[in-house]
């Protein structure tokens, strides 16, 4: 009977020790499982642990006179299971109160950031129209644009008389005296210019001034050529039986002309300008002086005015003043071109011709103008 009671006593003692170990492990587990970062967990009540603290195991240990460590050692594995079982509900409750946050993997985070960036770019593009669209949608300026600047385009000369200009400057004086010997010495460039006239006849597209200049230069150049080819000669009237102006020998384009053709069939009837008589020269001393430059469309009108004034006021050709006026035979031969001779003379004369003044014509000097 004693032995039975003894055995029962030790069994009860072991049970108490086991419970004490279980309570201790529960306290350790609860403390370990409680998150320190969350204030909520600290405030969570632990009813089970409060009950475990009521049990006091020290008196039992003193009664048996055996160290508690030996008993706990032999029952450690079962006690652990009991503690885990007791702690499981508390752990579950704590995890429920503080849910774990899953951290996505690095690749997924990067991928998510890229998706967000793409969305931002898409929204930005939708909000800001393309540059071209903005330009098209901009309202037109109310201020009118300045008119385009007109560039002055210089029309090229229909035909250049530069070669004749060089020869005239070289061999004709300012007073109209011609150096026929000089032209004869420069026969090559002289013939070249005459050929250029022949190869470039007047075109319908040329201006009135260009056409007049061409025919005046042609008349003067071919007149000098006629003298050069027969030089030395005292007068142009010594050639062709006294009628050199009727000979057709000037080839221009597909036609052949005489000096009279150029003057009386082209210059006078087509252009109807009496000043032409002060521009063409017949190689005689009484002829209006031949100009020592080439005629062009640009200088035509101005030079015709100067030539008319110079000829009319030159006492070598005309004597105007007093009760009598002795003037050139040219005004008699071509009276139809000048009209009322007094009015025409007074247009250019420095000394005006009085009304009713008797007009006479001077003898014409046909000697060579050299």
Per residue in 228-237, pLDDT tens? 999 999 999 9
pLDDT band at 113 (very low <50, low <70, confident <90, very high): low
Average pLDDT, the chain: 77
Q: Residue 362 pLDDT more than 60?
A: yes
- CA gap 163, 183 in Å, rounded: 13
pLDDT band at 116 (very low <50, low <70, confident <90, very high): low
- 244-293 pLDDT, tens digit per residue, is 999 999 999 999 999 999 999 999 999 999 999 999 999 999 999 999 99
For 281, the 3-state DSSP assignment is: coil
For 141, the 3-state DSSP assignment is: coil
Domain ranges of the chain: 2-97, 163-361
Q: Burial-class residue 87 by CB neighbours within 10 Å (0-12, 13-18, 19+).
A: buried
Most confidently predicted of 25-29, 69-73, 197-201: 197-201
Tally the C-alpha atoms within 13 A of residue 34's C-alpha that lie toward its C-beta. 16
Q: Which two tokens stand for residue 244?
A: 């050199």
The single residue listed with the structure tokens 């492990």 is: 25
The H helix count followed by the E strand count for the chain is: 18, 5
Considering only residues 211 and 1, tell me which one the structure prediction assigns the higher pLDDT. 211
Task: Determine contact, residues 277/245, Cβ cutoff 8 Å.
Answer: no
> Residue 263 gets which letter from DSSP?
I
- CA gap 283, 164 in Å, rounded: 17
Phi, psi of 102 (to 5 degrees): -80, 130
Q: What pLDDT is attached to residue 370? A: 97
E strand or H helix at 191, and its extent?
helix 187-199
Closest CA to 267 of 229, 322, 213: 213
Q: Residue 173 pLDDT more than 80?
A: yes
Residue 34: cis peptide before it, omega within 30 degrees of 0: no
Q: Which two tokens stand for residue 114?
A: 């890229």
Mean pLDDT of 208-234: 98
Phi, psi of 243 (to 5 degrees): -130, 60
Q: Residue 43 pLDDT more than 90?
A: no
Mean pLDDT of 58-74: 43
Q: Which two tokens stand for residue 36?
A: 């320190």
């Amino acid at each position: 009977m004693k032995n039975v009671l003894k055995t029962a006593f030790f069994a009860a003692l072991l049970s108490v020790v086991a419970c004490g170990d279980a309570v201790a492990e529960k306290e350790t587990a609860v403390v370990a499982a409680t998150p320190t970062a969350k204030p909520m967990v600290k405030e969570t009540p632990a009813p089970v642990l409060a009950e475990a603290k009521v049990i006091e195991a020290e008196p039992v240990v003193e009664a048996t006179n055996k160290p508690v460590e030996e008993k706990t050692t032999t029952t450690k594995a079962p006690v652990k299971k009991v503690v885990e079982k007791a702690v499981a509900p508390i752990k579950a409750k704590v995890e429920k109160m503080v849910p774990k946050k899953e951290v996505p993997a690095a690749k997924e985070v990067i991928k998510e950031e890229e998706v967000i960036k793409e969305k931002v770019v898409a929204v930005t593009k939708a909000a800001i129209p393309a540059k071209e669209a903005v330009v098209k949608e901009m309202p037109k300026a109310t201020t009118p644009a300045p008119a385009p600047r007109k560039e002055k385009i210089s029309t090229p000369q229909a035909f250049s008389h530069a070669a004749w200009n060089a020869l005239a400057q070289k061999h004709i004086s300012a007073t109209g005296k011609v150096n026929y010997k000089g032209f004869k010495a420069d026969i090559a460039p002289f013939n070249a210019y005459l050929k250029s006239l022949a190869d470039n006849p007047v075109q319908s597209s040329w201006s009135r001034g260009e056409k007049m200049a061409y025919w005046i230069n042609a008349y003067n150049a071919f007149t000098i050529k006629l003298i050069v080819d027969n030089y030395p000669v005292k007068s142009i009237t010594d050639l062709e039986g006294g009628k050199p102006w009727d000979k057709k020998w000037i080839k221009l384009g597909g036609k052949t002309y005489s000096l009279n053709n150029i003057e009386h069939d082209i210059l006078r009837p087509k252009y109807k300008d009496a000043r032409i008589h002060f521009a063409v020269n017949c190689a005689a001393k009484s002829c209006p002086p031949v100009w020592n430059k080439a005629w062009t469309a640009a200088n035509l009108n101005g030079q015709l005015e100067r030539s008319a004034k110079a000829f009319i006021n030159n006492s070598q050709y005309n004597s105007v003043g007093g009760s009598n006026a002795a003037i050139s035979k040219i005004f008699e031969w071509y009276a139809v071109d000048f009209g009322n001779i007094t009015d025409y003379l007074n247009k250019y004369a420095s000394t005006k011709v009085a009304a009713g003044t008797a007009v006479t014509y001077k003898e014409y000097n046909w000697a060579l103008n050299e």
